[in-house]
Amino acid sequence: MSTFQAPKGVSEYFPPISEQFEYVRDQLLKTARLAGYSLIELPVFEDTEVFTRGVGESTDVVSKEMYTFEDRGGRSITLRPEGTAGVMRAVIEHNLDRGQLPVKLFYTGPFFRAERPQAGRYRQFYQVGIEAIGYNDPEIDVEVIAVADSAFKALGLKKYKLNITSLGDAKSREAHRKDLVKFIATLKLDESTIVRARLNPLRLFDDKRDEIRSAMTKAPLLLDYLSPESSEQFERVKALLTDIGIAYEIKPTMVRGLDYYTGTTFEFDHQMLGAQSGIGGGGRYDGLMSSLGGADVSGIGFGLGVDRILMACQAENSLPALINQIQLFIAPITQAGKSYAFKLLSELRSSGVTCDMAYGDRALKGAMKAADKSGAKYGLVIGDDEISSGKCELKLMSSGEVISSSLKLSELINRIGNK
RNA sequence: GUGGGCGUAGCUCAGCUGGUAGAGCACCCGGUUGUGGUCCGGGAUGUCGCGGGUUCGAGCCCCGUCGCUCACCCCA
């Protein structure tokens, strides 16, 4: 008999790690809500053109990493490889940018890229992202960065770094690109690198080979080509970051994989991760809306990798030991005890107490063992004695101490409900 | 798409120069007619990834294949 395996390269979470995953994702969402962002829930697939036009044909993501297929109506559909293009599609479609600006949205869910998997890189992975649409304002740039940074801090992360740069406006980039292409033409490069450079000359700044790295140290930097407006914007962003105590490093050679980025651009890197160390990144995308057929409205946002952030938390051992702890676990004896316990659980749960019991026909020892394994705070035995007296012994599982030796069952909810 | 490493019990792995499988953890039962974690005793579990070849004999050697993994590339 053959069995099944999950498709290649997907991340799956089940207990106990799924508890950590949920905790990490919720922490990220909470931080976004704290800054006034609201949920936008979107499909995981879109018209392929949303991405080819939004993200850019020349990017690796679009040219070779998309899950694209034809649906039954002959439409070309693509599983979303990133979040921003879809959000912009929805903003345009539903005229969300017609009201008061900025529009501040957050999203979460799975994303898909058909890459070769490796540590921290999956074909289905999870992101939490936010988008602030409507103004090109340094304060908003910094707010977005700060949301990511405080989410990381809330998760107890320490060993990460923020890299920022500015890609300037279209004029700045054009002038720089011209000179950069000229410079690259003077280098001796192999075929595939030349192809890469033609698609996006900035890519060479990210090459890991020593000879190319050292050659590129003499290359012209985009930061030196910023227009006065772009330059001023970037200066204010840096000043504001300093004001609110966020450390950063300027990385003039930073390259992002999506074509829509303009102006302020940033990445968070974790030091204990491995080759795929980026835990989040984003930037301004001032031409994206109009290129998707919307108004000429600017925006900025980020995408955070939930899978990688979870790995970072594990590496730093920063997560609480007990997540979603069960309050009470009941070990029943005899069928009567079992029935009684079952009914009691129903009442406790109605009052918001997280609780569980031992099922099956286990001996008391086995039932207590189950209580232990559940990680519950309190343990309780229910048998004939408890039923006839209406009283029980409430036990603190961590120490074994009996908290109350004859607690009325009717008072159980009051006793542990708010503790 | 290109490289490297690895596939043995649920998990982590051992298995010598080829002689038809083992440990630890986890799980279940008992020692304690109704109180877990420690300790002691007992128990179940494997087509040794799959297919072929060499051999009297293959977990081990050879070929193929599938899968996993790490890295390049790229990125969350």
Q: Which domain CATH number covers A373?
A: 3.40.50.800
Let me know whether A232 and A352 are in one domain: no
pLDDT at A419 over 70: no
Query: Which range of residues forms the domain containing residue A368?
Result: 328-417
Between CA A97 and CA A91 the distance in angstroms is: 6
Q: Which two tokens stand for residue A318?
A: 């920063």
- A345 and A310: one domain? no
A407 located within any domain: yes
pLDDT bracket for residue A418 (50, 70, 90): low
Residue A322 lies in a domain: no
Task: Kindly tell me if the per-residue pLDDT of A387 is higher than 90.
Answer: yes
Q: Which nucleotide is nearest to A126 (CA to C1')?
A: B76
Q: Please, which pLDDT band fits residue A2 given cuts at 50, 70 and 90?
A: low
pLDDT at A372 over 90: yes
The answer to whether residue A139 sits within a structural domain is: yes
* Longest CA pairwise span in chain A (Å): 93
User: Would A208 be classed as within a structural domain?
Assistant: no
Q: Sort A1 into a burial class: Cβ within 10 Å, 0-12 / 13-18 / 19+.
A: exposed
CA distance A82 to A281: 12
CATH of the domain at A158: 3.30.930.10
Between CA A37 and CA A208 the distance in angstroms is 38
A309/B33 CA-to-C1' distance in Å = 52
Domain shared by A112 and A249, yes or no: yes
Count of domains in chain A? 2
Rounded distance between C-alpha atoms, residue A297 and residue A311, angstroms: 36
Regarding whether A164 and A85 lie in a shared domain, the answer is: yes
Q: Which two tokens stand for residue A89?
A: 């599609």
Q: Does some domain include residue A214?
A: no
* CA–CA distance, A411 with A265 (Å, rounded to integer): 58
Instruction: Give the closest residue to A82 by CA, choosing from A115, A119, A109, A118.
Output: A109
- Tell me if A258 sits within 8 A of A55, measured CB to CB: yes
Check residues A138 and A190 and name the one with the higher pLDDT. A138
Per-residue burial over A207-220, b = 16 or more CB atoms within 10 Å of its CB, e = otherwise: beeeebeebbeebe
- A392 domain-assigned: yes
Same domain for A333 and A306 = no
Of all nucleotides in the shown strands, which has a C1' nearest the CA of A203? Answer: B74
d(Cα A80, Cα A48) in Å, to the nearest integer? 9
Domain identity same for A21 and A99 = yes
Question: Among residues A414, A354, A332, A303, which one has the least CA distance to residue A19?
Answer: A354
Q: What is the pLDDT of residues A305-360, one digit of tens each?
A: 999 999 999 999 999 988 889 999 999 998 999 999 999 999 999 999 999 999 98
Does the pLDDT of residue A117 top 90, yes or no?
yes
pLDDT digits (tens, 9 = 90+) for A164-177: 999 998 888 889 98
CA separation for the pair A57, A74 (Å, rounded): 21
Please tell me whether the peptide bond between A252 and the residue prior to it is cis, using omega within 30 degrees of 0: no
Per residue in A121-163, pLDDT (tens digit) is 999 999 999 999 999 999 999 999 999 999 999 999 999 999 9
Q: CA of A366 and C1' of B28: distance in angstroms?
A: 10
N-term to C-term CA, chain A = 50
Separation of A189 CA and B66 C1' (Å) = 38
Are residues A238 and A332 part of one domain? Answer: no
Higher per-residue confidence, A130 vs A201: A130
pLDDT over 70 (residue A296): yes
Distance A41 CA to B67 C1' (A): 36
Alpha-carbon distance A384 to A136, whole Å? Answer: 71
Hunting for tokens 């003039």 — which residue is that? A252
Residues A161 and A250 reside in one and the same domain: yes
Beta-carbon contacts of residue A30 (< 8 Å; ≥ 6 apart): A154
Instruction: Flag whether pLDDT at A202 surpasses 80.
Output: yes
Close Cβ partners of A190 (under 8 Å, ≥ 6 residues apart): none
- The partner residues of A149 in beta bridges, in order of sequence, read none
Which nucleotide in the DNA or RNA is closest to residue A256, CA to C1'? B75
A274 and A158 inside one domain: yes
Residue with tokens 């050679």: A253
What positions of strand B are covered by protein, i.e. any atom < 7 Å from a CB?
Answer: 1-3, 27-30, 32-37, 67-76
With distances taken from each CA to the C1' atom of nucleotide B76, the closest residue turns out to be A305
> Average pLDDT in the A191-201 region?
79
Percent of chain A topping pLDDT 90: 74
A35-79 confidence digits (pLDDT tens): 999 999 999 999 999 999 999 888 889 988 999 999 999 999 999
What pLDDT does residue A1 have?
42
Domain assignment present for residue A189? The answer is no
Nearest CA among A255, A261, A262 for reference residue A230: A262
Task: Say yes or no: A353 and A309 in one domain.
Answer: no
- Which of A261, A290, A316 is the C-terminal boundary of a domain? A316
Are A361 and A232 in a shared domain? no
- According to DSSP H, which parts of A170-277 are helical? 170-185, 191-199, 210-216, 228-243
Nucleotide with C1' nearest the A192 CA: B73
In a domain, A212, yes or no: no
Average pLDDT, rounded, for chain A: 92
CA of A1 to C1' of B57 (A): 30
A255, A285, A316 - which closes a domain: A316
The DSSP 8-state label assigned to residue A395 in this structure reads: E
SS (H, E, C) A294-360: CCCCCEEEEEEEHHHHHHHHHHHCCCCCCCCCCCEEEEECHHHHHHHHHHHHHHHHHCCCCEEECCC
> Per CA to C1' distance, which residue is closest to B70?
A118
Q: Are residues A257 and A406 in the same domain?
A: no
Please report, rounded to whole angstroms, the spatial distance between the CA atom of protein residue A10 and the C1' atom of nucleotide B69: 14
- CA-to-CA distance for A416 and A412, rounded, in angstroms? 6
Name the nucleotide nearest A1; use CA and C1'. B47
Over residues A199-212, the mean pLDDT reads 81
